[in-house]
Amino acid sequence: MGNNIVETLMGAIVLVIAGGFLYFAFNHANVSANGGKTYIAKFDKVDGLSVGSDVKISGIRVGSVTKQYLDKDSFYAVVEISIDPGIKLSESTFAKITSEGLLGGNYLVLDPGYEEDEILEEGDEIPNTQGAVDFLNLLDKFAGSDDKAKGE
């Protein structure tokens, strides 16, 4: 009988510790339903960008990518984002996909436009976009241009 009580107490302690880890991880991972405003942007390529990727303004995380799909008519990649509801984007806002470094992941950067422009409403499309840059393709072009300069 004494072993059952010890085993039950040890199981309860393990569950409390596991719950503490989950609580800590959830609070420090910036995972929440922020109830943000949703916008869409269309790109020619979104290599390395995935659902959950950060959306940043001036280097500060203001939202995340919530959905990606292919527009079957235009063959553009459509990205839905959710950002802080207190941020107002104008029609001249520029969205681009950039990398955290050579080995880092990609994220979406918003360069806010002019305040005088019309403000985008929730669900509107951000018209000015630049897709992901393929660093390997750029490196190949750079290396290839060196061969052409030598006459090979």
- 66 found inside a domain: yes
User: Are 80 and 132 in the same domain?
Assistant: yes
- 148 found inside a domain: no
% residues pLDDT > 90 (the chain): 37
Q: What's the pLDDT at 40? A: 94
CA distance 77 to 71: 6
Give the structural domain span for 75: 37-140
User: Are 10 and 66 in the same domain?
Assistant: no
Looking at the structure of the chain, the number of domains it has is: 2
Contact between 54 and 64 under an 8 Å Cβ cutoff? The reply is: yes
User: Are 15 and 53 in the same domain?
Assistant: no
Residue 94's H or E segment, with its range, is: strand 94-99
Cα 89 to Cα 57, 114, 126, distances in angstroms: 11, 9, 9
Q: Would you say the pTM of this structure is higher than 0.85? A: no
- 152 found inside a domain: no
User: Are 49 and 100 in the same domain?
Assistant: yes
User: Are 7 and 56 in the same domain?
Assistant: no
- 111 found inside a domain: yes
| Residue 55: pLDDT band with limits 50, 70, 90 | very high
> Which of 131, 152, 107 lies closest to 45, judged by CA?
131
User: Are 92 and 129 in the same domain?
Assistant: yes
Q: Which tokens hold the place of 87?
A: 């941020």
- 146 found inside a domain: no
- 78 found inside a domain: yes
CA distance 94 to 31: 26
pLDDT per residue as tens digits for the range 101-130 = 766 788 999 998 777 778 888 889 998 888
Q: What's the pLDDT at 28? A: 65
| Chain mean pLDDT for the chain | 83
| Residue 32: pLDDT band with limits 50, 70, 90 | very low
| Residue 15: pLDDT band with limits 50, 70, 90 | very high
- 110 found inside a domain: yes
User: Are 27 and 102 in the same domain?
Assistant: no
Tell me how crowded residue 64 is: count the other CB atoms within 10 A of its CB.
Answer: 20
Average pLDDT, integer, range 15-30: 81
